[in-house]
Amino acid sequence: MSLEVASTVVRLTRSSSFTHSHPKALKPFDSGEIKILLLENVNQRGISLLEKEGYQVESIKKALPEDVLIEKIRDVHAIGIRSKTKLTKKVIQEAKKLLVIGCFCIGTNQVDLEAAANRGIAVFNSPFSNSRSVAELIIAEIISLSRQLGDRNIELHQGNWNKVSSQCYEIRGKTLGIVGYGHIGSQLSVLAEAMGMTVFFHDIIQLMPMGTAKQVNTLYELLERSDFVSLHVPETVETKNMIGEEEIARMKKGSYLINASRGTIVQIPPLIKALQNGHLLGAAIDVFPKEPASNGQFYNNELNSWTSDLLACKNVILTPHIGGSTEEAQYMIGAEVGAAIIKYINCGTSIGAVNFPEIDLRAIQDTDKTIRLLFCHYNVPGVLREINEILSDHNVDKQYSDSRGNIAYMMADISNVDDQDIRKIYETVSSNRANISTRIVY
């Protein structure tokens, strides 16, 4: 089987000489040749970091239609997106120069991760930067649902004074069930306990509880014991449609369901039925199976056939996927993903990549004659032996290799090389039978 070869060399300027040894700052030979495309209004912090490196940065506030995206992506070395841009296999195959994808958000399900890895493209995200923002939103929604604030607000905007206390409650002494006890779930747990709630959680692995929270063995046990159920799980085969008619029927009568995780986790028609017949007293939904590609009057039955029925339900808070949409969260996401892109382009560091072997080497000490070889290849027997034979005539200061599935990645720092050596190493390594991409930085 023939292997598609995509070879790229990024040359780096040599630093000025110093009397003492210092870590060497690796940067592209001409930073201005590196082109970055940022979509969906990436936070200015991320833009500033990339511009500071001297890259050509184009920032667009919206997602692009597929045909425009394909045209744009052909000429860029890195792309930054949020949740609306879809980087499918079709799009990625057109990205001839692309080295790295930065998802300035939590999720990466909008990217074909396998297609990216097979082209030597690392994908980075920021899975934890907005944890506090999401947790605070859930607390706000718990209180709002308990007091029916959404309905009272709408009524008064319509001129209807409706002062009632029926089925309005304090949250103190109520039970919160958290499904998925990761960074968001655990922060929510702490905030909820501080407000006097009892917290149970369910997760597929055994975890150390925060505060006095208790882990339960099954999802059904959590549903049956909780006044509020909040979902914080990733989108996987196991979690898709995890809350359906049977699960909702297991929830306490008069309880509330909150979903700020992924739109495919909850089956909406059974939720609507439970709201209509009074089994549930309310719900808060921040994510949906299908979401508009841009802001505007797009939330209707053409998007999801049950939309009008959901809109008609009482005490339901609907928000447009804003769990992590705070200035603080977006700043942190911009900083984290921006830094990951820079480290990968400049140094080859893949720590934090979601589709790629995660490796790094300590910094090169300042010297004019040391290079870093970055070799992404198919994980087949004998390749490292072949590469080490190529490097056997040189002094390899340090080397690290790892694999993930059928993709492997090697970094090697090689000293005492001249321009002719660099060209020979690049040409021989990049022509290896298993090569996906080869870069040299120095």
Residue 6 has pLDDT above 90, yes or no: no
- Asked if residue 15 belongs to a domain, the reply is no
User: How does pLDDT run across 114-152, given as a tens digit for each residue?
Assistant: 999 999 999 999 999 999 999 999 999 999 999 999 999
How are the residues of the chain apportioned to helix, strand and coil, as percentages rounded to the nearest 5? 30, 20, 50
- Whole-angstrom distance, CA of residue 51 vs CA of residue 70: 23
Judge if 139 and 281 occupy the same domain.
Answer: yes
Q: How confident is the model at residue 442 (pLDDT cuts 50, 70, 90)?
A: confident
Calculate the alpha carbon distances from 249 to 42, 188, 255, 271, 274 in Å.
Answer: 41, 25, 11, 10, 8
Q: The domain that contains 436 carries what CATH number?
A: 3.30.70.260
Q: How confident is the model at residue 369 (pLDDT cuts 50, 70, 90)?
A: confident
- Asked if residue 9 belongs to a domain, the reply is no
Judge if 203 and 314 occupy the same domain.
Answer: yes
Judge if 314 and 409 occupy the same domain.
Answer: no
Judge if 286 and 188 occupy the same domain.
Answer: yes
Domain containing residue 339? 20-125+326-356
Judge if 351 and 416 occupy the same domain.
Answer: no
- Asked if residue 182 belongs to a domain, the reply is yes
Judge if 203 and 272 occupy the same domain.
Answer: yes
What is the rounded average pLDDT of the residues 206-229? 97
Residue 19 has pLDDT above 70, yes or no: no
Judge if 91 and 200 occupy the same domain.
Answer: no
Residue 16 has pLDDT above 50, yes or no: no
Judge if 177 and 257 occupy the same domain.
Answer: yes
What is the rounded average pLDDT of the residues 259-279? 97
Judge if 279 and 140 occupy the same domain.
Answer: yes
Calculate the alpha carbon distances from 175 to 134, 179, 214, 278, 308 in Å.
Answer: 19, 13, 11, 19, 31
What is the rounded average pLDDT of the residues 417-433? 95
Tokens of 96: 């001839």
Judge if 113 and 58 occupy the same domain.
Answer: yes
Judge if 312 and 432 occupy the same domain.
Answer: no
Q: Which residues are catalytic?
A: 262, 291, 321
Judge if 313 and 238 occupy the same domain.
Answer: yes
* Number of domains within the chain: 3
- Asked if residue 409 belongs to a domain, the reply is yes
Q: The domain that contains 351 carries what CATH number?
A: 3.40.50.720
Residue 391 has pLDDT above 50, yes or no: yes
> What is the per-residue pLDDT for 20?
40
> What is the per-residue pLDDT for 295?
86
Give the three-class secondary structure for 189: helix
- Asked if residue 161 belongs to a domain, the reply is no
Confirm if 125 and 103 have CB atoms less than 8 A apart. Answer: yes
- Asked if residue 1 belongs to a domain, the reply is no
- Asked if residue 165 belongs to a domain, the reply is no
- Asked if residue 425 belongs to a domain, the reply is yes
